[in-house]
Amino acid sequence: MSIFEKIIQKEIPANIVFEDDLCLAFTDISPKAPVHILIIPKTPIPTAADLKPEHASLMGHLMIKATEIAKEQGLAEHGYRLVINCKDHGGQEVYHLHIHLLGGKKLYGLPV
């Protein structure tokens, strides 16, 4: 079981900013920007490379929630970055698909 599944199960604590039946959003333990939130599906899809057509609705839901959270966090006016790292070359460390929401300052390069 990945660390994110343990967060979903509430076996380890996290600063949860949003939760519904399909997804969970919580602040990154090692933030790379003033706002750094992870949006994850509750179903354990390991990587973006594992996405299938039946995940289209779920992924759309995650993207919409990411933008709603960005607005709630005050990021909508100046903008923000949404990132999905995929496997080793993409820099993925936790093999439970997640969207990074980063903002609160001008971002240069690749923060995550």
Q: Which residues bind ligand 5GP (CB under 6 A)?
A: 3, 14, 26, 28-30, 38, 85, 91-94, 112
Q: How far is the CB of 57 from ligand 5GP (least distance, A)?
A: 23
Nearest residue (CB) to ligand 5GP, 30 versus 77: 30
Can you tell me whether residue 111 is helix, strand or coil? Answer: coil
Instruction: Compute the half-sphere exposure of residue 89: CA atoms within 13 Å on the CB side of its CA.
Output: 1
Nearest residue (CB) to ligand 5GP, 16 versus 22: 16
Q: How far is the CB of 30 from ligand 5GP (least distance, A)?
A: 4
Residues noted as catalytic: 98
Q: How far apart are CA 41 and CA 56, in angstroms?
A: 12
- Joined together, the tokens standing for residue 54 give 């039946």
- Cα–chain-centroid distance for residue 27? 9
Nearest residue (CB) to ligand 5GP, 80 versus 85: 85
Q: How far is the CB of 9 from ligand 5GP (least distance, A)?
A: 13
Can you tell me whether residue 94 is helix, strand or coil? Answer: coil
